[in-house]
Structure 1
Amino acid sequence: MYEKLSSFAQTGGLILFIIAFVLVLIYALAPGNKKKFDEAKRIPLEDEEDGDVR
């Protein structure tokens, strides 16, 4: 019984991980998100408004 449950959990976990990975890839590579990601990658290079540099 334990072996069957363990095998099912491992297989199910692997399938869920693969599905989640593919969904994240689709989200990250979708052309509609390009502008949002381009803006986000420039955030560290922007000057702060109050002049407080740490």
Structure 2
Amino acid sequence: MDIDHETLVAFSKSFGLFYLLIFFVAAVVYACWPSNRDRFERAKRSILNDEDGPCR
């Protein structure tokens, strides 16, 4: 079987699209998983709690 450039480009575009969609869904599921809520809430508040005043 002879693979030409156009076939390879079409395959890589399709594979890349599905790869990124799967990665996006996995990231959203991880971010919305109920057991991760406390971790993200602590991270959200830690930025505000560590500041003791404006930079000089």
Instruction: Please give the range of the TM-score, normalised by the shorter of the 2 chains.
Output: 0.7 to 0.9
Identity %: 37
**Alpha-carbon shift at residue 52 of structure 1 (Å):** 7.3
Gaps of 5+ in 2: none
1:23 aligns with 2:5: no
TM-score by length of 2: 0.83
| AA at the equivalent of 2:37 | K
- In structure 1, what is the Cα distance between the partners aligned to 2:30 and 2:6? 36
CA RMSD of aligned residues (A): 1.5
TM-score by length of 1: 0.85
Equivalences, count: 52
1:10 to 13, 16, 24: 13
Structure 1 outlier segments of 4+, above 4 Å: none
2:43 to 37, 40, 43: 40
Gaps of 5+ in 1: none
| AA at the equivalent of 1:42 | R
